[in-house]
A and B are shown apart, each in its own frame.
Chain A
Amino acid sequence: MIRLENVSIRLNGFALENVSFCVPTGEYAVLMGRTGCGKTTILEAICGLRPIAAGRIYLMDTDVTHLVPGKRNLGLVPQDAALFTTMTVEEQLGFALRVRNRPRAEIRARVEEMAQLLNITHLLKRRPHGLSGGERQRVALGRALSFRPRVLCLDEPLSALDDETRFQMYDLLKLAQRHEHVTVLHISHNREDADHLADRLLRLENGQVVEYPLKPGSTCSLDSDEIPSCK
């Protein structure tokens, strides 16, 4: 579950006040809004990359408001993937587990599992230079999920992809979400992303996050009665 309670973020000349919303455990939420309205800022606050002036942030019932990013147990996929340019794909997938001093065999097994899930086994020995946009996003997704976080934050991961690749990524994102049982907050400015992915559609309008009804017939990974309601 991702829950924001009256979160205020103030930057130079920009402020978001009393933002509250909730994404129940296991749901795939898409947060939409105009460019520059503060979607990424909210995501950064959830990740602990931007300090908040007021309010509280809960992830899976834990108050993470004052936790450092590494203790929040969430994975982040930025818009440009931000792959580590000096590491191979294999090293990127195993990075979070290496940071946690996990045994080598466990790291190897997990890297293999993620590579197979995301169909990037053939890229394991490559460095990011020269990978296509879709490949980069798959590696970034694998890197973010590798340490089994409970929450996944995606910052417009599909915006630079061609239509065909984007459609493939829809399937892959849903597959990864089900396989890893993560609660997802996906930022996008493309309604099509929401139609294909969202269990819950949120919009940031006039500084507030409001819930919008989903388009009839759009996919939902869980039955509504399986979704635990937010407190």
Chain B
Amino acid sequence: MAANAPDATTPQSTGEASPPRSAGGETLAPSTILPVRGPDLPFILALGLIASVYVVLIVGMISSTMFYVQWPIVGEVFTNPRYRYAVLLTLISCSITTILSVWIAVPTAYLMTRVDFPGKRLVDAILDIPIVLPPLVIGLALLMLFQTPPGRFLQGYVRFTYAIPGVILAQFMVSSAFAIRTMMAAFAEINPRQEQVAVTLGCTRAQAFWWVVLPEARRGMVPAATIAWARAMGEFGPVLVFAGTTPMRTEVMPTSIFLELQVGNLGMAAGIAIVMVALALAVLILMRWAGHGAKML
């Protein structure tokens, strides 16, 4: 972009008074940070004190787990076939859940933010149900759903209860709700005028969506995918109830931690937890990096 900046080489023949620009040819954005001055200091310090309680708790939590853990045990997570299976199933199921969640979230969030239809408020409330329902209840409700005739019919083709598709469905039910909310915030931030201009330029609604709105929404897809992944990886209750805890079959990492705690093996539970922390951080960094790339678009 900067290579084509006009300032040094191209005379502005209209003589327009451009705002000050950086070397990269960008105009200066208005400042969003107010400088802290002497009299403001007690107020800012008080805010900092409150915020630091939470930050210290997070850091303390992670670091004490790291101190507690016996590192050879962490190695066992990758060498023991049972735990290795749980790690792999977690990675694969979370990835599939994330893709499915974003795939559902984009059209749903677009409809909810850009189209008026009868019963919209009701649909909006329904979309919040998986967020507010206790996770165990979601698992139980899924079990009930698959006891109904349509559920049984579907099971005839793909087995969900106490099977891997059940793990993914249990994760998906919760992750999607969060991905939809994140995408709705992203669509709400996009200037609706862009889409309106696109249709005056000859686009159909679908063309305006694919060519103008969706490229813009890519920035929102990164946080939506991040939150979907994080929720999916942490999902425990619905997976436990709906898909079970069978080792080498439907055991995911949170289930492993639960099972180890059940038998009093705190060391192994901490070892698995550390791997989960590392995975979560890796995904967070990857998504931030992807998000940075999307912002550059």
Q: Are B1 and A75 in contact (CB under 8 A)?
A: no
Closest chain A CB from B296 CB (angstroms): 10
Q: Are A78 and B197 in contact (CB under 8 A)?
A: yes
Closest chain A CB from B19 CB (angstroms): 5
Residues on B with beta carbons closer than 8 Å to the beta carbon of A140: 197
A52-86 interface mask toward B, CB cutoff 8 Å, 1 = contact, 0 = none? 00000000000000001110101110101011111
C-alpha gap A217/B109 in the complex (Å): 54
Q: Are A96 and B17 in contact (CB under 8 A)?
A: no
Give the nearest-CB partner of A47 in chain B.
Answer: B200
Q: Are A86 and B197 in contact (CB under 8 A)?
A: no
If A82-B191, A86-B216, A164-B16 touch, whether A126 touches B4 (CB-CB below 8 Å) is: yes
Residues on B with beta carbons closer than 8 Å to the beta carbon of A131: 27
Asked if B13 is at the interface (CB within 8 A of a chain A CB), the reply is yes
Asked if B280 is at the interface (CB within 8 A of a chain A CB), the reply is no
C-alpha gap A74/B201 in the complex (Å): 8
Give the nearest-CB partner of B204 in chain A.
Answer: A70
Closest chain B CB from A170 CB (angstroms): 11
Closest chain A CB from B10 CB (angstroms): 4
Interface residues of B in 184-231 (CB under 8 A from A): 191, 193-194, 196-204, 207, 211-212, 215-216, 218
Interface residues of B in 148-199 (CB under 8 A from A): 191, 193-194, 196-199
Q: Are A76 and B196 in contact (CB under 8 A)?
A: yes
Interface residues of A in 85-100 (CB under 8 A from B): 85-87, 95-96, 99-100
Which segment, of A27-35, A106-114, A117-125, A176-184, faces chain B?
A: A117-125
C-alpha gap A123/B4 in the complex (Å): 7
Size range of the chain A interface in the assembly: 35 or more
Residues on A with beta carbons closer than 8 Å to the beta carbon of B202: 70, 96, 99-100, 147
Q: Are B193 and A147 in contact (CB under 8 A)?
A: no
Asked if A224 is at the interface (CB within 8 A of a chain B CB), the reply is no
C-alpha gap A76/B202 in the complex (Å): 11
Residues on B with beta carbons closer than 8 Å to the beta carbon of A173: none
Residues on B with beta carbons closer than 8 Å to the beta carbon of A49: 196, 199-200
C-alpha gap A122/B13 in the complex (Å): 11
Q: Are A130 and B4 in contact (CB under 8 A)?
A: no
| Contact partner, A82, options B6, B18, B194, Cβ 8 Å | B194
Give the nearest-CB partner of B22 in chain A.
Answer: A130
Give the nearest-CB partner of B27 in chain A.
Answer: A130
If A80-B191, A82-B197 touch, whether A70 touches B216 (CB-CB below 8 Å) is: no
Q: Are B14 and A172 in contact (CB under 8 A)?
A: yes
B19, B26, B216: residue with the most chain A Cβ atoms closer than 10 Å: B19
Q: Are B194 and A75 in contact (CB under 8 A)?
A: no
Q: Are A86 and B215 in contact (CB under 8 A)?
A: yes
C-alpha gap A5/B264 in the complex (Å): 82
Give the nearest-CB partner of B14 in chain A.
Answer: A168
Asked if A127 is at the interface (CB within 8 A of a chain B CB), the reply is yes
C-alpha gap A172/B215 in the complex (Å): 31
Q: Are A69 and B199 in contact (CB under 8 A)?
A: yes
| Contact partner, A78, options B13, B25, B196, B216, Cβ 8 Å | B196
Q: Are A99 and B10 in contact (CB under 8 A)?
A: no
Closest chain B CB from A49 CB (angstroms): 5
6 pairs from A and B in contact (CB 8 Å cutoff)? A70-B200, A76-B197, A83-B194, A95-B211, A99-B203, A168-B16
- A-contacting residues of B (Cβ < 8 Å)? 1, 3-6, 9-10, 12-19, 21, 24-27, 191, 193-194, 196-204, 207, 211-212, 215-216, 218, 297
- B-contacting residues of A (Cβ < 8 Å)? 47-49, 68-70, 72, 74-76, 78, 80, 82-87, 95-96, 99-100, 119, 121-127, 129-132, 134-135, 140, 143-144, 147, 162, 164-165, 168, 172
In addition to A47-B196, A119-B13, 16 A-B residue pairs with Cβ atoms within 8 Å of each other are A69-B196, A69-B199, A70-B204, A80-B193, A82-B194, A84-B212, A84-B216, A86-B218, A95-B201, A99-B211, A122-B4, A124-B4, A130-B24, A130-B26, A143-B201, A144-B201
